[in-house]
Structure 1
């Protein structure tokens, strides 16, 4: 069944990029999707922050390299000032450090500009539904099996089923509240499970949990937009 034949909830999106040609291309891609409403655009980071504050979209698609406020700082600001807005970052950078910093800043998506024509709408849908989207071509580099995650993966038999569930949903980008709804438990219970699981596996940050999830294969479906 095609997307056009399947009813979808409308997704309100804003976009920001300081290159007019790139911005026009991104807008055209988003406007081609019947379930996406493009509600605003900006040409710099400060304008993007004002736009997000005014429109409170479901998703903000942001260039990393913008004047006034760069994409990383903007993601941090949005996480604090508009926590309900899910951020997808667009970039030409394939460096692992960029991905780790943006995940820690609260971004839900990381997409290379060269992949945008094929994957942007898919990424918007994925993060709007509460998931995480990483460009398949950088996922291997960004989420490489470090010694810590390899050790954690080898030790995961110590996790209870609930701890494993919470860690899996966390790696996939779901908030504590979203996980609580899915598992039909309280938010405090989710926090407890996450803390116990992280302590058992020696995972000290959200980025490490995501890398662990990649080792476990929990992100494979998300990278393909399923």
Structure 2
């Protein structure tokens, strides 16, 4: 590709998305019931192939990446630009590729297609390297952010399990206390009855002794004057 020229990023952008189409609007759903907050959906745009709606943010990231990696001289991107210009001619796909190749060769006297394969492979390598770096960052983010949340989640679960066990232990103690309370009520009745019976027996025996002694005193006073 020629050294970075004005508008090259815009040209690269047009190779991958249909800029003429409006960005796909994400439907906003309102819910009267409060719930977990969800991240806002990223604005998307349709790709050139019409097979998917891609994230505009990442489209611009890759376009900037490829623009900075612009190789000197005619290469895959110039050919892609020539190919794009053939779309309005009504040619079949094979004829478009052949006509674009003829136009591309006229740019710099290029005679074989190896430059297209080589430069395209270089750009693929740049994209693959960027993807590897991105996935590494994703893995780190998961470890740092999600991992911390998972640790907190585990601690809270363990804490709740401990509380549940404590509650179970307390409930058992309460049940044991209730059983003992029932036993004590019966024992109170039983012991009260025993003590009362013993008291009555004491009083009866006491009365018998007192009566006997008093009776003897009365007779002593009567018979021994």
Scaled to the shorter chain, the TM-score interval is: under 0.3
Q: TM-score, normalised on structure 1?
A: 0.23
Higher helix proportion:
2
Larger radius of gyration: 2
Higher strand proportion:
1
Q: TM-score, normalised on structure 2?
A: 0.23
